[in-house]
Amino acid sequence: MIKGVCIVGLGAIGGWMAAHLSRVEGLRVSALARGDTLAAVRDRGLRLDSGKDSWQAPLRVSSNPVELGPQDLVILAVKGPALVDVAGQVAPLCGPRTRVLTALNGLPWWFTAGLPVPGLALKSVDPDGHIARMLPPERIIGCVVHASCFVQAPGHVRHVQGNGLLIGEAAGGASESVAGLAALLVRAGLGARAVESIQREVFYKLWGNMTTNPVSALTRATTDRILADELVRRFTTDIMREAALIGERVGCPIAQSPEDRHAITRSLGAFKTSMLQDIEAGRAIETAALLEAPRELAQQLGVATPMLDALLGLTRLMDGCRALRSG
């Protein structure tokens, strides 16, 4: 029975989930926050705007996980570059039976745990194994978010579209724990569904995002403009074909064609990717989880990825130059 939930990462997705969970009667919802977000939520609660609906969610917030204490569920909704530092902060929130739900972009450190191919590793997202030691796969429930939100101001989140959450055991298989969590999230007004293989869902979302995200960061273009350019669209298509071969080798086959996925992306209109939003806000970008991790898998599997390599190289170069300018 889940009675206490703590959200770590009170940004767009974490804030959206926290606000919905705060409406569940009898559920204690808290959050680990800092800086302006901590001050704003302490002062007036967390605000969520969704369509014509808007509400303030009172949350217990702290910058010190020890103050919040062990939880039944921790929702980890931070950006990949912050994970190494955050993993240690999650430990005081965990008791013997605490589960950790990860709402992250790209390939997470636990991705290889539930794959049918033994011996694969993702050092690109967890170089020395620190995250896995703090948060082993057996504790993790993976989550794929199909929703778009953004932070309008500290402690103020706007939900744009989508309401889907797919969840599953990081180590694979079904469980009562995942089924119970899905039911709780549905009670909170979120479109949650338990799945047998969360790895397949994680890889499918990566397949759709791993091109437009970095291309938008490189060019500052919205997705409609990216796909409108025939040469750029062909480049993204070639990368998606390389990634689909990686997915097939690790037991995560892609049923769609790149053209099918482009049609879905076009339907979003002039959409700003999360990586473009991070660039504009001066935040770190998730190159490791979106590009380095699938390339690392490809190298271990012997899959050639010249187009993915080119995109990774350009993205790293752009980000390195950005760091030099800001320094």
Lowest mean pLDDT of 25-29, 269-273, 306-310, name the range: 269-273
Rounded to an integer, what distance in angstroms lies between the CA atom of residue 236 and that of residue 246? Answer: 15
Rounded to an integer, what distance in angstroms lies between the CA atom of residue 18 and that of residue 11? Answer: 10
The arithmetic mean of pLDDT across residues 311-325, rounded, is: 94
Q: What pLDDT is attached to residue 172?
A: 87
pLDDT in tens, 159-214: 999 999 999 999 988 899 999 999 999 999 999 999 999 999 999 999 999 999 99
Q: How many Cα atoms sit within 13 Å of 86 on the Cβ side?
A: 20
Q: What is the residue-averaged pLDDT of the chain?
A: 95
pLDDT in tens, 48-99: 999 999 999 999 999 999 999 999 999 999 988 889 889 999 999 999 999 9
Asked if 87 and 9 touch (Cβ cutoff 8 Å), the reply is no
Binned at pLDDT 50, 70 and 90, residue 219 comes out as very high
**Has residue 44 got a pLDDT over 70?**
yes
For the record, the structure tokens of 151 come out as: 């932070």
**Has residue 4 got a pLDDT over 90?**
yes
Q: What pLDDT is attached to residue 324?
A: 84
For the record, the structure tokens of 145 come out as: 């978010």
Q: What pLDDT is attached to residue 173?
A: 83
Does the active-site annotation cover 272?
no
pTM: 0.94
Q: What pLDDT is attached to residue 196?
A: 92
Helix/strand/coil for 146: strand
Q: What pLDDT is attached to residue 42?
A: 96
Q: What pLDDT is attached to residue 174?
A: 82
Residue of 52, 123, 205, 272 marked active site: 205
DSSP 77: -
**Has residue 113 got a pLDDT over 80?**
yes
pLDDT in tens, 291-301: 999 999 999 99
Residue spans per domain, the chain: 4-196, 203-326
Domain 203-326 has CATH 3.40.50.2300: no
Q: What pLDDT is attached to residue 323?
A: 82
Which CATH fold topology does 4-196 show?
Answer: Rossmann fold (3.40.50)
DSSP string, 27-71: -EEEEE--HHHHHHHHHH-EEEEETTEEEEE--EEES-HHHH--E
Helix/strand/coil for 101: strand
pLDDT in tens, 131-149: 999 999 999 999 999 999 9
Binned at pLDDT 50, 70 and 90, residue 1 comes out as confident
Binned at pLDDT 50, 70 and 90, residue 327 comes out as low
**Has residue 244 got a pLDDT over 90?**
yes
